[in-house]
Amino acid sequence: MNAAAEGAKPPLDEVMLSMDVVDTIRQDQRVAEQEMDEDTRRKGLIARLREIYHGQGIEVPDHILEEGVRALDERRFVYEPPRSSFSVALARLYVSRWRWAKSAGVVALVLGGISLGWQAFHVWPQAQREAAARTELSTTLPSRLNTLLATVDAETSNPAVEAKAKQLHDSGLAAAAAGQAEPARAASADLAALLDELRLAYNIKIVSRPGEMSGIWRVPKVNPQGKNYYLVVEAVDANGRVLERPVVNEETGRAEKVKKWAVRVPESTFSAIQADKRDDGIIQRAVIGVKRRGELDPEWRIETLGGALTQW
């Protein structure tokens, strides 16, 4: 930069003085509002400014005072906010970033908590349930069905029982392979119940205790002229415990678990047991059936007609 160019610019201290002059005018509202209304009073304004600075012990040249007045007229040192634009909006957004960043952080934290809760209480448990279901269908149920069938085969030599167990086993495996959990579980439960039944051993005895009936008869609804005869029995194991047994009531068609039920027999059998009890109050041959381990059905020692009652 050459000397001529440098001389064209006012020194920095003069610029600063001009700015101070403008600021002084603005602060003195009486000067700004009254003295600046007319050009003819500019000299009076300059004189007023000179008095103000002289009172502060500052000597300001007249050309600086005149420059300050011109600067005020030209609004040279007045801040004009930028007009709205995309760039200005970005700048304001950047300047206020800490304020909106806190709100965004709170929102992000809340959303993150909701997402984590959804994952923890829905997505992950659901995934675990689905994985457990797949494992149950592919491994747990088939393994249990195979084990139960092998155990049944070891517990019995009855072909009919083995065939029934095989049918339950195969239906359970087919359901598991098809992804049908409930039928597969039901087949497994039925096979387990069959195994439990195989392992039971008990005698079927006619009830013969004071105050209790050993036999009853009923008039069937379908044949009012006839009678059905029954012996009241119970299942007693080797330890003398009376077992609860599932029995279908032929009058209602419902299966019930009972400790005492009535077996339908021919009239001749009923009469023979009745005569035996009347003889001395004791039924000599009270055991009328034996359920052996490895079998599902009892072996009857008397003739029975297949019906039963659970209530009378």
Domain ranges of the chain: 11-73, 126-199, 202-309
| CB burial of residue 152 (10 Å; 0-12, 13-18, 19+) | buried
How many angstroms separate the CA atoms of 106 and 117, rounded? 16
Give residue 36's pLDDT: 47
Of 80-89, 112-121, 194-203, 261-270, least confident by mean pLDDT is: 80-89
Q: Report the predicted TM-score, pTM, of the whole model to 2 decimal places.
A: 0.59
Average pLDDT over residues 83-102: 70
pLDDT exceeds 50 at position 35: no
Q: Do the Cβ atoms of 231 and 290 come closer than 8 Å?
A: no
Q: Which residues pair with 217 in a beta bridge?
A: 229
Contacts of 283 (CB under 8 A, 6+ apart): 206, 208, 214, 273, 276, 277
The angle formed by the CA atoms of residues 261, 265 and 271, to the nearest 5 degrees, is: 110
| DSSP 8-class letter at 75 | T
pLDDT exceeds 60 at position 299: yes
